[in-house]
Chain A
Amino acid sequence: MPLSTQSQADIDQYILIASLDNARNLSNILKAISFKDHAIFNATQNGLKVTVEDSKCLQANAFIQADIFQEYTIKEDAVGFQVNLTVLLDCLTIFGASTTPGVCTALRMCYNGYGYPLTLFLEEGGVVTVCKINTQEPEEPIDFDFCSTNVTNKVILQSDSLKEAFSELDMTSEVLQITMSPSHPYFRLSTFGNSGNAHYDYPKDSDMMELFQCTKLQTNRYKISLLKPSTKALALSCKVSVRTDSRGFLSLQYLVRNDDGQICFVEYYCCPDEEVGEE
């Protein structure tokens, strides 16, 4: 059942149709937020927003703007549903996740509305795969109420410089402590593990630091188990913006460049751990 032979009647039923010449442009960015099975899809005229949450303390969002898609048709103001993200990723990469140049999987994603499955048509080298993924009613994502006007401290770093720190995190530490300050140590990541503590200090004049806007010394702790999945986003991204607001909430925004050089965003929000001890 090639993509072109779907009948007009079938197409008419769909309230959402999104097509990509390269399915990796969707699968890659979804991998950056795949740490739980349930993903909430929210489609508007602007594009697709996919949300994954963990224990009411962590939220990750991936944004794929409408113009990333070769075709993007939405017949309602907003279309929402929930699917199993692990299943969706297996379907999107059914022809393999390899990056052979010149070979890509074309995707057409369709949704009929409440009660219908999310239907994927994937095609590579004349072979067609049809997937019907069951959907559920979407849950309301948590509102972290993270507002840019309340941001106390903000740094933008090249992702490479944080990748190492995150891959080396001492997982015997319960928390990752982030210190941001207008004076020394400027930007510091600390862990407190079984064998001792570790501090990673980034000077504000480092050439890895693209922006340094810290107004006030702030030290907050975040559960390391919650933040660990964000390493996936870090690995895909080229830049990351680290912000904290007056309540100590953390926002990590990742700028991701896809295979075609287009830019998408992934963002993680995390609540601070209650106790802030002094080291």
Chain B
Amino acid sequence: MDCVATGGNVKVLAKAIHSLSRIGEELYLEPVEDGLALRSVNSSRSAFACFLLSPLFFQKYQAPSDQSFRCKIPIKSVQAVFKSLSSLDRSVEKCRIQLNSEKSRLTITLHCKHGLLKTHNLSFQDCESLQAVFDKESCANVLQAQPRLMVDTVLHFPPSQEEVTLSVSSDRVWLRNHVEDDADPRAMMTELSLSSEEFDHFAISTQTSITFCLKELRGLLVFAESSGLPISVYFDEPGSPVILSVMDSVLEANFVLATLSEDSHPKNHGKSNTKHPDTEQPPDDFMNDDMDSFLIAMETSELPGPSHAPTSPPHPTNNRKHPASEEEQEEALAEGPPNKKFCSLFFGSVLPTQSQLTNQTIQSQEVLASDSEDENQAETS
């Protein structure tokens, strides 16, 4: 492979790499006929991201003669090449990426002002194609917004916030922080309410709530904000993946994130998830917010603090939907699995054929999000 990006596209490429570095440890690089695919997956396989840079993105694009060629590289080392975005803007005129499969070496050359030439020779490993199975078009709900709206929205949550819940009705969107049932009961609950008018496109066919990781959304925002491209969000019911997508004439980015299955949603704010609070919210009346009951409870008992309304943890039935084919769906583990469950996204083409798989390995795919077995699974080839 031999391709050359020039001018502002070098920065776009760099932003894509930085964006992917928020997802996983490795960059999967696959040069194909219709462009250069850059992909990454997180260790628990619950998030997958792919950028496809079309041949037109490059000044020169030459895919390798061996069409099945693909490799992976620690993303940190690629990121290091594009470390300083300001210097990329200031001084890099041209970026050339060459793959030498015989030497197992990826060469990135940056042609800078004043004749300075930076050559990075990175070693890579061969790998299988990394692909998540998803279908944006079949999703029941689609939202599209300017990156500014998403950035402003995400700003309301602290950097440490791991997951958010997105709820939609026919004319509004709510975002709130997701708190585990066993987490700090003193956590602050934040909820943002957006009118459908704030979105460029708003097509909701089912009222629903999905919970997903904020980290990967932030990752995509790194890219979308700098490119100014609108972000589309495709989703169905809880448990099905949410797809965040950015597109223009020469590139496409898709981030596929697992969502929590419905029964593992705690009752945030003491409200039900599917019916949105707005319909139940008491009027903003001073008289309705009498706190005396709390005080009475406290003065009469010797409890150290105010009583919290007991919330019985919902029994997880683990009714998850995979974006993958039927035979990959597994029954829930018999004894109550932990509450927090993101399903692993299945990467059809990565998986060995069924005959090679023992039942045992399929089981291992089903365990907790953080299980490292998943890592091995995908690399089996």
Contact = CB atoms under 8 A, between A and B. Distances in A.
The reply to whether A and B meet directly (CB within 8 Å) is yes
Interface of A: 161, 164, 167-168, 170, 193-203, 205-208
B122 interface: yes
Contact of B118 (A199, A206, A207): A199
A161 B80 contact: no
Given A164-B87, A164-B91, A195 B116 contact: no
B117 interface: yes
Interface residues of B, number: 22
B349 interface: no
Interface in B108-136: 114-123
A194 B117 CA distance: 21
B119 A198 contact: yes
Nearest to B106: A196
Contacts of A205: 115
Given A164-B87, A201-B119, A195 B80 contact: yes
Interface string B82-106: 0110010001000000000000011
Given A164-B84, A164-B91, A170-B80, A196 B114 contact: no
Contacts of B83: 168
Most B CB atoms within 10 A — which of A161, A168, A196?
A196
B115 A206 contact: yes
Nearest to B78: A195
B116 A208 contact: yes
Interface stretch (B57-65, B69-77, B214-222): B69-77
Contacts of B81: 198
A168 B121 CA distance: 15
- Interface secondary structure of A, over-half rule: mixed
B116 A161 contact: yes
Contacts of B105: 196
A195 B74 CA distance: 8
15 contacts: A161-B116, A195-B73, A195-B76, A196-B77, A196-B106, A196-B120, A196-B122, A198-B81, A198-B118, A198-B120, A198-B121, A202-B114, A202-B116, A203-B117, A208-B114
- The 6 tightest CB contacts between A and B, nearest first, are A195-B77, A196-B122, A203-B115, A206-B115, A201-B117, A208-B114
Contacts of B114: 161, 202, 206-208
B123 A195 contact: yes
Contacts of B119: 198-201
Nearest to A279: B121
A124 to B, nearest CB: 33
A196 B123 contact: yes
A198 B122 CA distance: 8
B94 to A, nearest CB: 14
Nearest to A207: B114
Contacts of B74: 195
Contacts of A170: 80
B80 A168 contact: yes
A233 B80 CA distance: 23
Nearest to A195: B77
Contacts of A200: 116-119
B77 A201 contact: no
Contacts of A203: 115-117
Contacts of B106: 196
B111 to A, nearest CB: 10
